[in-house]
Amino acid sequence: MRWVKAVVLAFSTYTRFPVPQIKWDDDAIKLSIAFLPIIGAVIGCFIWGWQYLCAAANFSPVFFAAVAAAVPVLITGGIHMDGFCDTCDALASWQSSERRLEIMKDPHIGAFALIRYVIYILIYFALLYELQIRGISAGIAFLYPLPRLFAAWSAMLLPNARKGGMLAAFTENADRRKVCAVLAVFTFIAVFCWVWFTLPYGIAALALTLPVAFWYRHTALKYFGGVTGDTTGFYLQICELTLLAGLLLGEAVTVWL
């Protein structure tokens, strides 16, 4: 039963789906972060359905890309994009780690966050459009579990910058053995599906996520003293963009060769 509660808790925290409201059970909290990739799979199903509808109705690549870029935000309520914006503001401040953590708590969006958000969305849209017109959009639906896996692993393996907060609640008292076992199974399934449906470009995309992971670890430890819910959302969004860019880069290199 606590596994079911853990899944429900993950969906109630990280999506806008009207799931049953349950009490914050300590046993469920210890496991819930392991099911973050399932939310990515649900997003992928919606993207796949949208791709099918666009093909059936002969919608333009522009329309496909615009809606596909909005789907993850609509499903999650923008919780990860909020972390992206908060982290951008904090990084642009060039203040101490303590001050950066305070900036991320500010509910107002700053100029640097807005600028980088607009740039992010423009690049995200452009990548989706390019992949669609090049006929290599089949693997996009399998993309979304991967960034959530990377984010969950980083949250479990890197130190928390705060003693409190949502991420600390999900990770500090987590049943690490069971969470890591579940994440390992999901990682195998997600990577297999991604590579199977995106060969040969998917391997190039995965390769790009390695330097991004090292960069994020360095950034989180140097500028914040660890990870927070906001920096984890920031990392998740960067991984989504990296995987899309990797698909396009892989295709371009293949054509060039």
- What mean pLDDT is predicted for residues 34-60? 94
Sequence-separated (6 or more) residues with CB below 8 Å from residue 33: 10, 152, 155, 156, 170, 171, 174, 179
- What mean pLDDT is predicted for residues 121-126? 97
Sequence-separated (6 or more) residues with CB below 8 Å from residue 234: 83, 84, 86, 87, 88, 216
Quick: pLDDT tens for 162-207. 776 666 666 666 677 888 899 999 999 999 999 898 888 888 899 9
pLDDT band for position 40 (cuts 50, 70, 90) = very high
- Give the domain ranges of the chain: 2-256
pLDDT band for position 106 (cuts 50, 70, 90) = confident
> What is the pLDDT at residue 153?
93
CA distance 188 to 40: 15
- Per the CB < 8 A criterion, the answer to whether 42 and 10 are in contact is no
CA distance 122 to 237: 14
> What is the pLDDT at residue 32?
82
pLDDT band for position 255 (cuts 50, 70, 90) = low
Q: Which of 12-21, 209-218, 239-248 has the lowest mean pLDDT?
A: 12-21
pLDDT band for position 52 (cuts 50, 70, 90) = very high
What's at 150, amino acid-wise?
Answer: F
- What mean pLDDT is predicted for residues 214-233? 92
Neighbours of 159 (CB within 10 A): 12
Write out the two tokens for 95: 């203040």
- What mean pLDDT is predicted for residues 211-218? 96
> What is the pLDDT at residue 210?
94
Question: Which one is predicted more confidently, 51 or 105?
Answer: 51
pLDDT at residue 13 greater than cutoff 70 = yes
pLDDT at residue 253 greater than cutoff 80 = no
